Amino acid sequence: MYLLEVGHVATVGGDAFGSPECFRMSYATSDENIVEAMKRIKETLARLK
């Protein structure tokens, strides 16, 4: 929820896939969108420090 609310990036928790410590992302989009999402994730997680 943090990535969605703060970074505006949607992910799916890894619980449903047997990896509760991970999250899942779809890559069925353009390379540009993936690069932007990774940038947002990096910036958003850096705020947690």
pLDDT digits (tens, 9 = 90+) for 1-49: 999 999 999 999 999 889 999 999 888 999 999 999 999 999 999 999 8
* pTM, rounded to two decimals: 0.82
The rounded distance, in Å, linking the Cα atoms of 29 and 46 is 25
Per-residue confidence (pLDDT) for residue 3, from 0 to 100: 95
CA distances 33 to 17, 21, 42, 49, Å, are: 24, 24, 14, 26
